[in-house]
Chain A
Amino acid sequence: GAVVSQHPSWVICKSGTSVKIECRSLDFQATTMFWYRQFPKQSLMLMATSNEGSKATYEQGVEKDKFLINHASLTLSTLTVTSAHPEDSSFYICSAPPRAEAFFGQGTRLTVV
């Protein structure tokens, strides 16, 4: 079946640094991928839609300059959290829909200290 791989699974970084998270579709091509964020004990909120070969579409309230998304190929989307601060600590998860049913990555636990 379709598999989406996300890396890293967890990362700890210092405040002010940038962190890159990768999302790969392993056995299918994904022209669109989605990035979600989940704060502790809360639901998943869509942050942005990553579009291969074009700019990402961000949901209202999400800072595009802080959360840089690059979808340079049909199997890879990256989310870079720039100048991370403790309030960016969260669980980030990507999804790729080969069809109506999307497949999710394993998620990345980001802790900014």
Chain B
Amino acid sequence: AQSVTQPDIHITVSEGASLELRCNYSYGATPYLFWYVQSPGQGLQLLLKYFSGDTLVQGIKGFEAEFKRSQSSFNLRKPSVHWSDAAEYFCAVGSTSGTYKYIFGTGTRLKVLA
């Protein structure tokens, strides 16, 4: 079955520290991969995406993610976290069959300590 796992429900980091949010997926082939951020009560903002090509993708707000096919992972990283990064982060996989349905992970809530 297709699924997305974000093992960490909550993560707390100090401002200025590095960050890595984990995402593993189960899919029949290499899917389209996305990371979204959601602030409380808000919609989703796309941070970055992977369709093909270079496995290290750069996104907005200083985020990057690396696709590792052998590990079925697409972890999100940021070298130095800012207090404004506190939010909920969702990893998602998108169908490559043309239906464009998304399956979301359960999300990781990031708390940033001043």
Q: Which residues of A pack against B, CB within 8 Å?
A: 6, 32, 34, 36, 41-46, 49, 93, 95, 97, 99-102, 104-107, 109
Indicate if the CB atoms of B42 and A107 lie closer than 8 Å: yes
A106 to B38, CA, bound (A): 10
B70: CB under 8 A from chain A? no
Indicate if the CB atoms of A102 and B94 lie closer than 8 Å: yes
Contacts of B41 in A (CB 8 A): 109
Q: Least Cβ distance of B37 to chain A in Å?
A: 12
Contact of A44 among B42, B90, B99, B109 (CB under 8 A): B90
The number of residues on chain B lying at the interface, defined by a beta carbon within 8 Å of a beta carbon of chain A, is 23
Q: Least Cβ distance of B45 to chain A in Å?
A: 8
B63: CB under 8 A from chain A? no
Indicate if the CB atoms of A34 and B101 lie closer than 8 Å: yes
B11: CB under 8 A from chain A? no
Given contacts A36-B104, A101-B32, A101-B49, list 19 more A-B pairs with CB under 8 A. A32-B100, A41-B109, A42-B107, A43-B104, A43-B105, A43-B107, A44-B44, A44-B102, A46-B101, A49-B99, A49-B101, A100-B94, A100-B96, A100-B100, A101-B94, A102-B94, A104-B36, A106-B43, A109-B41
Indicate if the CB atoms of B46 and A44 lie closer than 8 Å: no
A106 to B41, CA, bound (A): 9
Contacts of B102 in A (CB 8 A): 34, 36, 44, 46, 95, 102
Contacts of B103 in A (CB 8 A): 46
A46 to B103, CA, bound (A): 8
